[in-house]
């Protein structure tokens, strides 16, 4: 993401109708810190464009602080009118390659249990992410935080994960 | 915590022998942001003193971003020579009162599965925190992230929590 992409990215985020005012404020703040205070940045923003070079989606991710090889996918959004065309998948696949190239071991994604995030949850499950954690009422009463994970590379991690009763 | 407490707090953290160089760097950074860039602060630092007004422990906590009524206890440390005298418990009880007074619904605490954190884990379990999540290999291979929770107040949260098969 470049400084000139700011308005296009914020337009994508706002147009999804998924985010609360507090979340939009937070998203704008994250964009501005990324663009203007790079020394405080421990995350990255990337965009995806359609065939007409219009920004239709964006993703925020970063190495998880104080871990070795764990990455967080923090935020992702694709414009409503461009959904279902594979842009979200393109962003996730791009990140997975990036993480694997850096010998990363896992990607974590947190999302909400609210009905409006059902398509989000199905999206990640469809890309072979597994629910690894759920904290009841985390965001607010009735709104759990669900964490999805995908492990890469390490045979030991994979074995341990399987033994824990999860499928991979 | 006041600016003049900086050296005492960092001495406590270093003297525990619990933290890696990266974690110590991170702790120093958090202390300095708290003391000198309060506008960027979304967490608080408090200290506990012994009878001689010497700082013997500290705690970092804050409202969890984008939640309603959820709090994180981020860091806690008590000097090695003052451990076992109830200072850690005093800090946690202080936070619980603070959270309840603010109509907070839960406190979350993340820690590691490493053997060196066994007394830490026993400490939180002894204060009626429950393991609500475990992410295998989160910090590094063989080092899981364990999340403890204690819920307050909301009957709905409590009922839901019990139904999920956990005890409270």
First to last CA, chain B: 33
Closest alpha carbon to B44 in B88, B69, B74: B74
pLDDT band at B96, cuts 50/70/90?
very high
Q: Which two tokens stand for residue A96?
A: 């997975």
Alpha-carbon span B46 to B68, nearest angstrom: 22
Closest alpha carbon to A71 in A46, A23, A41, A103: A103
Summarize pLDDT for A41-93 with one digit per residue, the tens.
789 999 999 999 999 999 999 999 999 999 999 999 999 889 889 999 999 99
Alpha-carbon span B166 to B168, nearest angstrom: 6
Closest alpha carbon to A47 in A84, A80, A94: A94
List B62's β-bridge partners, or say none.
B72
First to last CA, chain A: 32
Query: Among partner residues B26, B105, B140, which is closest to A137 by beta-carbon distance?
Result: B105
- pTM, two decimal places: 0.86
Q: Which of B40, B136, B163 to mutate to test the interface with A (most CBs of A within 10 A)?
A: B136
CA distance to partner chain B, nearest, from residue A58 (Å)? 20
Q: What is the pLDDT of residue A110?
A: 97
Q: Where are the alpha helices (DSSP H) in chain B?
A: 6-15, 21-36, 87-101, 118-126, 155-163
Residues of A in contact with B68 (CB under 8 A): 139-140
Alpha-carbon span B135 to B124, nearest angstrom: 18
Alpha-carbon span B150 to B168, nearest angstrom: 8
The top-scoring range by mean pLDDT among A140-154, B24-38, B123-137 is: B123-137
Residues of A in contact with B104 (CB under 8 A): none
Q: How far is CA A138 from its chain centroid?
A: 18
Q: What is the pLDDT of residue B168?
A: 34
Average pLDDT, chain B: 89
* Neighbour tally for B111: CB within 10 Å: 20
Q: How far is CA B50 from its chain centroid?
A: 19
Summarize pLDDT for B104-156 with one digit per residue, the tens.
999 999 999 999 999 999 999 999 999 999 999 999 999 999 999 999 976 55
Buried b (16+ CB within 10 A) or exposed e, A35-66: beeeeeeebebbbbeeeeeebbbbbbbebbeb
pLDDT band at B26, cuts 50/70/90?
confident
Interface pTM (ipTM) of the complex? 0.86
Average pLDDT, chain A: 89
Q: Does A66 touch chain B (CB under 8 A)?
A: yes
């Amino acid at each position: 993401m470049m400084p000139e992409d700011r308005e296009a990215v914020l337009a994508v985020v706002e147009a999804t109708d998924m985010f609360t005012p507090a979340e939009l404020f937070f998203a704008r703040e994250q964009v501005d810190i990324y663009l203007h205070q790079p020394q405080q940045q421990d995350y990255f923003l990337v965009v995806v464009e359609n065939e007409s070079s219009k920004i239709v989606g964006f993703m925020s991710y970063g190495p998880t602080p104080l871990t070795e090889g764990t990455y967080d996918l923090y935020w992702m959004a694709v414009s409503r009118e461009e959904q279902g065309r594979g842009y979200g998948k393109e962003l996730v696949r791009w990140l997975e390659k990036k993480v694997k190239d850096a010998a990363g071991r896992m990607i974590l994604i947190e999302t909400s249990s609210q009905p409006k995030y059902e398509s989000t949850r199905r999206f990640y499950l469809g890309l072979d992410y597994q629910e690894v954690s759920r904290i009841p009422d985390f965001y607010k009463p009735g709104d759990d935080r669900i964490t999805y994970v995908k492990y890469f590379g390490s045979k030991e991690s994979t074995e341990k994960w399987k033994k824990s009763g999860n499928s991979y």
